[in-house]
A and B are shown apart, each in its own frame.
Chain A
């Protein structure tokens, strides 16, 4: 077995890659075509279920509105996620390194997830008004949990035999953390990050629904109240694209920052 050959053996040929893209693409296309035909033939009213072309028209005609509100939602998501990322890692380190802190912090971390965000959002509205802050808090609240839980598991997953080996090499506690424990927690951290990013957009929209004067959630509420259903769908499309794009960024940075993890999984899959 040679390291150099691994990419040649495992990398799919361009034909196979094309097929991998073709299948989901044709599935989506087929779905849209059926939807379009059904909506036209059955004469479903537009306010009830707009056809794909109605939605496309709505996206184009209200492109400037979607962009403006979309950017606001994106800002809430990015700021909220960034706060959740930093706070989540800090909490995970505290939980993993101190039994006392674990007992003090973990119940609150879990409790924070048992309360529906939709119930907290109005309170945040009362405290912080209609601006950016309450939405950022809602996003952070939805995001931080998967980051904390995965990071804690990752920090604990370090091979105890590796820790013993590090000790026999004369490592300090800090060296064991920095050279063994932290790196071995990174794959879990990235798993948590990907989950967090996927749910972050939901958090932002819920925050906007409850009370706001901007953002795609607000745009959806306003459009729905005017029975402009095509616009609601247009906003959903933009939100989906946003979520998928953010997820792709997380997956891509995992690949760039942990090239070994990518290799390892690929080699395991190839065996």
Chain B
């Protein structure tokens, strides 16, 4: 098992708040968010669009500072966080002028690892990431799923203990998406990383996570925390089990309230509503051809 009980959390957020400056004055985006992840845990944030999930990751990554509240890594207040956690944004952001191999070593290169050494370390993982024989291809020749795996490999190769993943599968089609979920499930067992994950997809959240946080519509607050006690290793077949369905319904209920509230309060919140609505009406879990 990857997760073990540690005395203090790897990441801990205590009453973290953040406002955006607008013409009408400060707009509260995050309000007193409490959150933690132990070492090796997979923790997921779900919430309606515009609830500040991505902003929360930006804050943890050090791209922004909270207006108030404390962020601790290993129990120590982390004031200078930039460059200390691995961050994978929604877009793959592969550099079109670099080959896939050279894209994946970007983090190591910036840390000063010599290129040849970095390439050697990356190449070992190409097979596991389903990128074999694409080492010298440019990103434009790859499919969406492959690009996403390349971006994920780049994130893993930064060799940080904490990884922040912002809807890494959000832009993929349904089939590729379930493939990727299953792939990530298997991969994660060997990674030993603490992961904070954002998704719109409740199935994905329950399947992958040790703990799920449901955030409220803006300003983002923690509405519900749910430990996912499903046994590991997990597999796709679990999505039909009674416990899985019960957990999913609980999370969907909380999310539905907030999604509706978000739509009532802010029409702009409706831009990505399609995804959330999909989950609300209970589209059955997608299965890939290989079975789970």
Contact = CB atoms under 8 A, between A and B. Distances in A.
Interface of A: 1-3, 6, 159, 161-162, 164-171, 175, 179-180, 183-184, 186, 258-261, 263-264, 267-268
- For the complex of A and B, the 6 pairs showing the least CB-CB separation, nearest first, are A170-B83, A3-B137, A3-B141, A264-B140, A168-B87, A260-B138
B63 interface: yes
A24 B290 CA distance: 53
B110 A3 contact: no
Interface string B71-98: 0000000000011111101010101111
Contacts of A184: 95, 97
A1 B106 contact: no
Nearest to B81: A168
A175 B142 contact: no
Interface centre among B58, B87, B110, B142 (most CB of A within 10 A): B110
Interface string B95-107: 1111000000011
Given A167-B83, A170-B111, A183-B95, A3 B142 contact: yes
20 contacts: A1-B142, A1-B143, A3-B142, A159-B93, A162-B93, A164-B58, A167-B63, A167-B82, A168-B61, A168-B86, A168-B87, A169-B83, A169-B107, A169-B111, A170-B83, A175-B110, A264-B96, A267-B140, A267-B141, A268-B140
Which secondary structure dominates where chain A touches chain B? helix
Contact of A170 (B63, B110, B137): B110
Given A260-B96, A261-B97, A169 B158 contact: yes
A161 B107 contact: no
A161 B63 CA distance: 11
Nearest to B61: A168
Nearest to A183: B97
Interface residues of B, number: 30
Contacts of A179: 95, 106, 109-110
A6 B141 contact: yes
Contacts of A268: 140
B62 interface: yes
B121 to A, nearest CB: 16
A159 B138 CA distance: 18
Contacts of A183: 95, 97
Contacts of A2: 141
Nearest to B158: A169
A136 B286 CA distance: 67
Contacts of B82: 167-168, 170
B163 to A, nearest CB: 11
A262 to B, nearest CB: 10
B83 to A, nearest CB: 3
B95 A264 contact: no
B134 interface: yes
Contacts of B110: 166, 169-171, 175, 179
A256 to B, nearest CB: 13
A101 B254 CA distance: 53
A74 B85 CA distance: 55
A6 B138 CA distance: 11
B283 to A, nearest CB: 27
A258 B98 CA distance: 10
Interface in B134-175: 134, 137-138, 140-143, 158
Nearest to B86: A168
Contacts of B140: 260, 263-264, 267-268
B53 to A, nearest CB: 16
A166 B107 CA distance: 8
Contacts of B58: 164
B141 A161 contact: no
Given A6-B141, A170-B82, A175-B110, A161 B134 contact: no
A168 B63 contact: yes
Interface centre among A171, A183, A184 (most CB of B within 10 A): A171
A175 B66 CA distance: 26
Contacts of B137: 3
Contacts of B107: 169
Contacts of B138: 3, 259-260, 263-264
A6 to B, nearest CB: 5
Contacts of B134: 3
B97 A186 contact: yes
A46 to B, nearest CB: 55
